[in-house]
Chains A and B, each alone.
Chain A
Amino acid sequence: MRVEIIADKCQGHGMCNMVCPSVFKHDEDGFGYVVAELAEVPAELQDEVRLAEVQCPERAIVIED
């Protein structure tokens, strides 16, 4: 599983960071990004990443299985 945040869509609601803080962080300007080493998502974090994807109010998170 690969995960990415579409920068144009992210408005920095931070839901992803709330439900999966190890994969999703915020930059200085308040927008989300995926921690590079975890963009290929380890098995134990995949449920949390899926939860982040469906909770994102701006639909900015894209998962490729």
Chain B
Amino acid sequence: MSDRKNLNRAVSVARGYDPYTSEWLEHEFESYALLREHLPVARTEQLAYRRQFNGGWLLTRYDDISACLSDTDVFSSQSSDYPQRPWIPQAIDPPSHTAYRRIMNKWFTPEAMTAMEPHLWDFAGELLDKMLQKDEFDFVADFADPFPTVIFCELFGFPLDDYEQLMDWKNTLMHATDGHSAGRALAVAKAKELGLQTPDEGELPSEVAGQVYGATAAALYEYFGGLLEQRREHARNDMISQLIASEYDGERPLTNEELLDTLFLMFMAGLDTVASAMGLIVKTFAEQPDKRREFIALMDDSQKLTLAVEELVRTHAIVLLPRRVTEEKEFEGASMHAGDQVMCPTMAGNRDPEQFENPDEIIYDRVPNRHMGFGHGPHRCLGIHLARRELRIGLQLLHQRMPDYELHPDKKPELFGGMKGASSLWLRKG
């Protein structure tokens, strides 16, 4: 196709860009590649409309995304509307961000996470024992979801008796309109409870989704408020108690609002991410047995496994990072205005051929591999050292116990867009 037509196609893809749908996933990498080549700083309309911004931009080159995520003065993280207040620390810019992160970074150091490894092995083994009693199973429901989620609940001190309720809240908040059928069903039920009209099929109207979102967030804030009250009376060995005992910049305790906004963010960021990456990686392994065998052959070599996990995170990056422009900015020739939104899809940066040779290929010993699967700049994933260990241990143990498997012939995987992932992944032992 001529360059002119490709440019026109790129303009059209950018115009309708809406990664918060499962349809987008059917052609996302081709679309990002088209944009990267022909329109690397693209104007978008659909996304801005959905998020109520003046205008939107979409970046697809590694260097551009890296520059945007590193320049926190011009590209603010306080980028969309929040149910109550901006989340801490994700939606806060330096220098306050630095002060909040300093409180939490020390809980998530590599050393602290290494100390958890024996427990991660035990718990992964327990879940796999149960799952592998069956010949076919939903890997997401039986392993990818509960493994990181239960570990997260234990760390923070969310009661495990509330697991189902927490998952329902998470799915309602994050997956009402992205192709996740359980998330949609929960959102519809909540909408009915609120006396709102909902369509039988298709996407929930954004005003309905917005009200459902607000009501669910309010319920979660109330729940967290209760936990904070309990821990103030009886501190325990968990992160809720540690957070209460923490000081902002060594000057003052965190306010109740700060505590709530932090717990809300931890909940949103901690419950879905490893589960999503793990589900997508195992889906790839079910579809590409050669890549799975290659992984199994190297996984007992610790250094090779380290590089392999990074390469899997690069090729299965799930995170979309929106930023808000704070001042007039000339960016790679584009005139950005204050208030514009800029979308940085890490999955697009991670497949830039200028940075990664044969970017669509999984090359387990890829070096260099400066991927942005865990984000980039000051907001890089707080739980990175835990996430790596969960992926490493989960994938290693899974394949020790079950080297051969395939997708279930009748039950197709269900994928959701946005911070993408698999909501169900039925497998059959090989």
Give A residues with C-beta under 8 Å from B: 11-15, 17-19, 26, 28-30, 51, 54-59
Residue of A nearest to B392 (CB): A18
Asked if A11 and B377 sit within 8 Å, CB to CB, the answer is yes
Asked if A14 and B106 sit within 8 Å, CB to CB, the answer is no
Chain A residues with Cβ below 8 Å from B367 are 51, 54-55
Asked if B105 and A12 sit within 8 Å, CB to CB, the answer is yes
CA distance A56 to B106 in the complex (A): 21
Can you report 22 A-B residue pairs in the complex whose CB atoms are below 8 A from each other?
A: A11-B378, A11-B380, A13-B374, A13-B384, A14-B384, A14-B385, A14-B388, A15-B310, A18-B110, A18-B306, A18-B388, A19-B306, A19-B307, A26-B109, A26-B110, A30-B109, A54-B367, A54-B370, A55-B310, A55-B367, A55-B369, A57-B374
Q: Which of A12, A19, A56 contacts B370 (CB 8 A)?
A: A56
CA distance A30 to B9 in the complex (A): 44
CA distance A12 to B303 in the complex (A): 19
Return A63 CB to nearest CB of chain B, in Å: 13
CA distance A1 to B372 in the complex (A): 28
Flag whether B102 is at the interface (Cβ < 8 A): yes
Residue of B nearest to A56 (CB): B370
Highest count of chain B CB atoms <10 Å: which of A18, A58, A59: A18
Q: Which of A13, A17, A18, A51 contacts B380 (CB 8 A)?
A: A13
CA distance A54 to B368 in the complex (A): 5
Return A44 CB to nearest CB of chain B, in Å: 14
Q: A19-B306, A30-B109, A55-B370 are in contact. List 7 more A-B contacts (CB 8 A).
A: A29-B105, A30-B101, A30-B105, A30-B106, A51-B367, A55-B368, A56-B370
CA distance A47 to B105 in the complex (A): 29
Interface residues of B in 345-384 (CB under 8 A from A): 367-372, 374, 376-378, 380, 384
Chain B residues with Cβ below 8 Å from A54 are 367-368, 370
Return B307 CB to nearest CB of chain A, in Å: 8
Q: Which of B102, B110, B388 contacts A29 (CB 8 A)?
A: B102
CA distance A51 to B372 in the complex (A): 17
Return B266 CB to nearest CB of chain A, in Å: 16
Asked if B384 and A59 sit within 8 Å, CB to CB, the answer is no
CB-CB contacts of B36-65 with A at 8 A, as 1s and 0s? Answer: 000000000000000000000000000000
Return B7 CB to nearest CB of chain A, in Å: 31
Chain A residues with Cβ below 8 Å from B370 are 54-57, 59
Chain A residues with Cβ below 8 Å from B307 are 19, 55
